[in-house]
Amino acid sequence: VLGSTCQVMTLRPRLILTNTSERDVELRCPGSSHADVEVLAPGASCAWHRGFEGSDTEPPQCQLHFRPVKDGRALSQWSGLVICSDAAAGSTPYLLAAEAGVVSALAAPLVWSAEVAPSRGALGLSLREGSDFVAVNRAVRTRVAMAMRPLGGDA
């Protein structure tokens, strides 16, 4: 119709989570109850709408914790805070300590990575096992041990 105006608006989620690992991953916001946990299947993606904070001068950001699960049982304690914002773009390794009360040779800490990628006002967060970071022990003396503690490790 001549003289009319129209407007097209596209709504999309602020954050898309993707689990690129071969394990289920549990997700929760800081301070939430154990009943308020979402499970993301291997290779799956989902829109995340919870926990966003922001102001008129700062872009919104979200914080969450994750941990891998197998057969409904947690394989580690919760990760440190994963900050999802434009300023947190890039890959961050997390040291996931063994689940409390587990005593075993298999209870070694796990290393996972969270990769935040901003794209035109939206964010993508990919969770995966392992890390791209490499540590080399170049000690001159023999029998020197080196301990690496990525973000999210306690002590």
Tens-digit pLDDT profile for residues 59-97: 778 899 999 999 888 889 999 999 998 888 999 999 898
Rounded average pLDDT over 7-34: 86
The verdict on pTM exceeding 0.85 is no
CA distance 8 to 89: 29
Inform me whether the pLDDT recorded for 145 exceeds 80: no
Q: What is the per-residue pLDDT for 155?
A: 46
- Alpha-carbon torsion, ordered 22, 112, 86, 30, to 10 deg: 100
Give me the chain's average pLDDT, please: 82
DSSP per position, 38-60: EEE-TT-EEEE-SSEE--SSS--
The answer to whether the CB of 129 falls within 8 A of the CB of 110 is: yes
In tens, the pLDDT along 90-108 reads 999 998 988 766 555 556 7
The answer to whether the CB of 66 falls within 8 A of the CB of 79 is: yes
Inform me whether the pLDDT recorded for 42 exceeds 50: yes
- Of 119 and 19, the one with more pLDDT: 19
Q: Is the dihedral of CA 16, 39, 109, 100 positive or negative?
A: positive
Residues 6+ apart with CB under 8 A from 117: 89, 123, 124, 125, 126
Q: Give the number of residues written for the chain.
A: 155
